[in-house]
């Protein structure tokens, strides 16, 4: 799922192409992608794009309609497999993956979604109050200090991995960047939130702001050169996410993972769990006594 750095890269590219432009109309491949009925989608035809902002993991296009007072907001939620493409004017929707097309004089913004599950969505709402109702409510780390983060984490007792990826707790972070943040903070993904001390909360806050700032700036710069066509959660420069079996760039230990549902958690036992390899429910049950429980060093890299 695209997270803050990816969403900000999209916003950078969209601002360069859409701000001040007239939205001629929207074509839908399936009516199920549109999750609202009032105002009707036709209300934005001929309107002007006045702003593009992020709401959690959502992209918001502020439209000043041609024949109505006040602003309308188009809210695009990419979910896991949704992606945006910038195509030539009037470009057709791709067969099978096309969800919606937003037509402008200079080009067409196409929303696609890979796979058979249709989770990406589009909302059209009127006014700031209706827009605010779509905000999951998580704390925005770009505006929160360590005390604010600590307070929201301690409201419930859950694992750090779950808390960071819960949009009602922390805004805009998902599977990939939670792995990177926890590695930089040297914290176990399964440490309980109420077990954090003040030093650990400060370390977590600093790691989160640094990781998000670094990757947001990196992807924004790329978006200024060309439209972000390859939005992925797996990047070779990442420290742990998607690097199972590789050497940790800090200590050289082999990166481990825990697979659950449709996600996986990547971590370094040397940096984060005092050398312990956390039990994977499926694999540890299968391997039993052969399940390794101490840190392994990658032979391709000396510590």
Does 63 reside within a domain?
Answer: yes
Do the Cβ atoms of 108 and 101 come closer than 8 Å? yes
Instruction: Please give the backbone phi and psi of residue 225, each rounded to the nearest 5 degrees, phi first.
Output: -85, -40
Do residues 104 and 151 both lie within one domain?
no
Lowest mean pLDDT among 146-155, 172-181, 228-237: 228-237
Q: How many domains does the chain have?
A: 2
Residues 126 and 202 in one domain: no
215, pLDDT greater than 90: yes
Peptide bond into 194 cis (omega under 30): no
pLDDT tens digits, one per residue of 257-281? 998 767 789 999 999 999 999 876 5
Whole-model pTM above 0.75? yes
| Nearest-angstrom CA–CA distance, 7 and 79 | 11
Give the residue-averaged pLDDT of 172-181. 96
CA 100 centroid distance within chain: 20
Q: Answer yes or no: are the C-beta atoms of 2 and 79 closer than 8 Å.
A: no
d(CA 8, CA 17): 14
Write out pLDDT tens, residues 107-153. 999 999 998 788 999 999 999 999 999 999 999 998 899 999 999 99
Assign residue 36 the CATH number of its domain.
3.20.190.10
Could you tell me if 154 and 283 lie in one domain? yes
Instruction: Tell me, yes or no, whether 221 and 119 share the same domain.
Output: no
Q: Do 126 and 172 share a structural domain?
A: no
pLDDT band at residue 289 using 50, 70 and 90 as cut-offs: very low
pLDDT confidence of residue 115? 83
pLDDT digit string (tens) for 42-87? 999 999 999 999 999 999 999 999 877 789 999 999 999 999 999 9
CA distance 59 to 73: 10
Residue 261: the pLDDT is 67
Given this model, what pLDDT does residue 290 score? 40
Domain membership of residue 102 as a residue range: 4-132
- Fill in the DSSP letter of residue 91: P
| CA dihedral over 135, 107, 215, 255, signed as positive or negative | positive
- Over pLDDT 70: what percentage of the chain? 91
């Amino acid at each position: 799922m695209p997270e803050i750095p990816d969403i900000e890269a999209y916003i950078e590219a969209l601002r360069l192409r859409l701000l001040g432009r007239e939205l001629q109309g929207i074509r839908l491949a399936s009516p199920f992608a549109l999750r609202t009925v009032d105002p009707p989608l036709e209300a934005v035809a001929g309107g002007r794009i006045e702003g593009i902002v992020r709401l959690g993991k959502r992209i918001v296009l502020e439209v000043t309609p041609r024949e109505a007072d006040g602003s309308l907001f188009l809210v695009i939620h990419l979910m896991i497999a949704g992606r945006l493409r910038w195509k030539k004017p009037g470009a057709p929707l791709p067969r099978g993956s096309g969800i919606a097309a937003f037509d402008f004089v200079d080009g067409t913004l196409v929303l696609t979604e890979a796979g058979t599950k249709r989770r990406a969505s589009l909302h059209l709402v009127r006014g700031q109050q209706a827009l605010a109702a779509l905000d999951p409510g998580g704390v925005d780390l770009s505006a929160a200090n360590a005390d604010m983060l600590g307070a929201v984490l301690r409201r419930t007792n859950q694992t750090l991995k779950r808390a960071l990826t819960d949009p009602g707790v922390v805004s805009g972070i998902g599977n990939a960047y939670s792995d990177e943040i926890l590695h930089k903070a040297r914290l176990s993904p399964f440490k309980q939130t109420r077990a954090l001390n003040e030093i650990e909360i400060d370390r977590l806050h600093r790691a989160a702001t640094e990781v998000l700032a670094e990757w947001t700036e990196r992807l924004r710069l790329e978006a200024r050169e060309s439209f972000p066509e390859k939005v992925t959660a797996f990047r070779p420069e990442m420290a742990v996410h998607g690097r199972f079996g590789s050497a940790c760039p800090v200590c050289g230990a082999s990166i481990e993972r825990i697979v659950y549902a449709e996600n996986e958690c990547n971590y370094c036992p040397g940096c984060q769990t005092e050398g312990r390899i956390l039990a994977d429910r499926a694999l540890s049950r299968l391997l039993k006594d052969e399940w390794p429980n101490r840190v392994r060093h990658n032979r391709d890299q000396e510590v």
